[in-house]
């Protein structure tokens, strides 16, 4: 039977993962992205065990394991007391639970791009999508695509196909990829230092962008959206002094920053569509649900969406039935993690002294007492709500 025709709008993590999986199932897939050429840009990110399981299905898991940095622990201290207020260890889940894998976003992008192309997906760069209707895409240059059996919206957080956008959260962050500085930093930990919840500096080892390239870290500094312009106008050394006051050991990273352009401001927003479906259209990834990266789940959710979408289309020939199965398999996990992200974000990024106090003197101590360590590790690992089992069950009964 000939494959169905599927247009994927957006060639980011969700779009390329969907393309790789669907093309491998025999669907005729075309991916449209506004970028003229694929480029390895952006921060690092942590792939959780559930996201890695999805990457394994795509055939890109081992490539990412060879490049990335295994993460065993998420660790943070608050200044000036130096109290430990974040300590999540994957081993609290038991031996077989796996760990996080921090990767360069460019490395993940290249792996997904190659997997999609190898599976037979067609990739069309330089096409800015502005609208979709009747299973067609409309482009900024005034042209319209052919009619497809299904349009997949993988345009990310600002998707013009999602109906409404959300305002940015008060806090975003400056992100830059720098060469790994070695000791005293832990090569297997995401480490952060805070002042209340209004200041945060973090270091995430991310391995190499490609084989043989130097090992790197993502360096980030929490910044209010409203202060981003002032930061650009500020003297770089004055900012470095602020960072050093919070975490003096970061000097070898700061020494590598000679130009503001090395640090990119990322704003975050929190938005969840009540359903990922419109007639002839399915949302995947951030176009359906976006959040701040405090829980580190966005890329994992995008990979899980892609896996669920391909399973549903594999199990049901009728596209509308498949889309209902897709939505059903993902809804509970997404609602749960969007809620958790909404609750946790202010504990690490807000002006509130009360919230910071609650984090330091209530949440942090109880999280170290059973069943806190295992529950937090399961939350970070993306396992709560058993997303893989829900996807596996598509087509049953």
CA distances from 235 to 239, 240, 241, 259, 391 (A): 7, 9, 10, 11, 50
Q: Does 346 bind ligand FAD (CB under 6 A)?
A: no
> Which 114-143 residues touch ligand FAD, going by CB under 6 A?
128-129
**384 in contact with ligand FAD (CB under 6 A):** no
Side-chain half-sphere exposure of 327, counting CA atoms within 13 A: 16
Looking at beta carbons only, is 38 or 316 nearer to ligand FAD?
38
- For residue 352, CA distances in Å to 84, 224, 346 come to 19, 13, 8
Q: Is 49 in the site for ligand FAD (CB under 6 A)?
A: no
β-strand pairing of 271-272 with 199-207: unpaired
| Residue 113 Cα to chain centre, angstroms | 17
Q: Is 54 in the site for ligand FAD (CB under 6 A)?
A: no
Which of 105/360 has CB closer to ligand FAD?
105
Residues 54, 307 contacting (CB under 8 angstroms): yes
Nearest approach in angstroms of CB 370 to ligand FAD is: 27
User: Smallest gap, in angstroms, from Cβ of residue 240 to ligand FAD?
Assistant: 20
Residue nearest to ligand FAD (CB): 12
Distance from C-alpha of 107 to C-alpha of 388, rounded to nearest angstrom: 24
How far apart are the C-alpha atoms of 167 and 349, rounded to whole Å? 16
Q: Is 300 in the site for ligand FAD (CB under 6 A)?
A: yes
Taking the least distance from each CB to ligand FAD, the nearer of 102 and 394 is 102
Tell which one of 3, 5, 34, 198 touches ligand FAD (CB under 6 A): 34
Q: Is 348 near ligand FAD (CB under 6 A)?
A: no
User: CA-to-CA distance for 103 and 106, rounded, in angstroms?
Assistant: 8
Q: Is 14 in the site for ligand FAD (CB under 6 A)?
A: yes
Instruction: Out of 168, 285, 385, 387, point to the residue binding ligand FAD (CB under 6 A).
Output: 285
14: which residues sit within 8 A by CB, 6+ positions away? Answer: 154, 156, 284, 285, 286, 287, 302, 303, 305, 306
For binding to ligand FAD (CB under 6 A), which residues are involved? 10-15, 33-35, 43, 45-46, 128-129, 154-156, 160, 175, 266, 285-287, 293, 296-300, 302
């Amino acid at each position: 039977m000939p494959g169905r025709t599927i247009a994927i709008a957006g060639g980011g993590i969700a779009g390329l993962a969907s393309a790789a999986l669907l093309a491998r199932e025999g669907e005729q897939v075309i991916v449209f992205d506004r970028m003229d050429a694929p480029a390895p840009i952006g921060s690092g990110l942590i792939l959780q065990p559930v996201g890695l399981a999805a990457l394994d299905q795509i055939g890109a898991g081992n490539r990412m394991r060879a490049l990335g940095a295994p993460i065993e622990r998420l660790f943070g201290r608050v200044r000036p007391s130096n109290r430990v207020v974040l300590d999540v260890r994957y081993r609290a889940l038991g031996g077989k639970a796996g760990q996080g894998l921090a990767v360069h976003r460019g490395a993940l992008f290249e792996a997904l791009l190659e997997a999609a192309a190898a599976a037979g997906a067609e990739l069309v760069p330089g096409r800015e999508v502005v609208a979709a209707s009747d299973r067609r895409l409309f482009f900024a240059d005034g042209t319209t695509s052919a009619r497809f059996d299904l349009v997949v919206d993988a345009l990310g957080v600002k998707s013009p196909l999602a109906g409404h956008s959300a305002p940015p959260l008060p806090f975003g962050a400056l992100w830059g990829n720098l060469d790994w500085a070695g000791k005293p930093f832990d090569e297997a930990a995401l480490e952060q230092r805070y002042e209340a919840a209004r200041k945060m500096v973090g270091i995430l080892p991310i391995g190499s962008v490609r084989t043989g390239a130097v090992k790197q870290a993502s360096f980030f500094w929490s910044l209010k959206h409203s202060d981003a312009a002032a930061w650009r106008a500020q003297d770089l050394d004055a900012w470095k002094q602020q960072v050093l006051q919070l975490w003096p050991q970061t000097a070898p990273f700061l020494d590598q920053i000679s130009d503001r352009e090395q640090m990119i401001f990322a704003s975050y927003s929190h938005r969840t569509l009540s359903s990922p479906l419109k007639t002839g259209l399915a949302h995947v990834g951030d176009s359906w649900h976006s959040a701040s990266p405090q829980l580190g789940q966005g890329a994992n959710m995008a990979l899980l969406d892609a896996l669920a979408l391909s399973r549903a289309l594999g199990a049901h020939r009728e596209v509308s039935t498949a889309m209902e199965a897709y939505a059903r398999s993902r809804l509970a996990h997404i609602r749960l993690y969007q809620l958790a992200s909404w609750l946790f974000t202010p504990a690490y990024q807000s002006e509130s002294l009360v919230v910071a106090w609650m984090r330091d003197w209530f949440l942090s101590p109880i999280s170290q007492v059973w069943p806190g360590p295992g529950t937090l590790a399961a939350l970070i690992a993306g396992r709560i709500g058993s997303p893989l089992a829900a996807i596996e069950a598509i087509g049953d009964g």
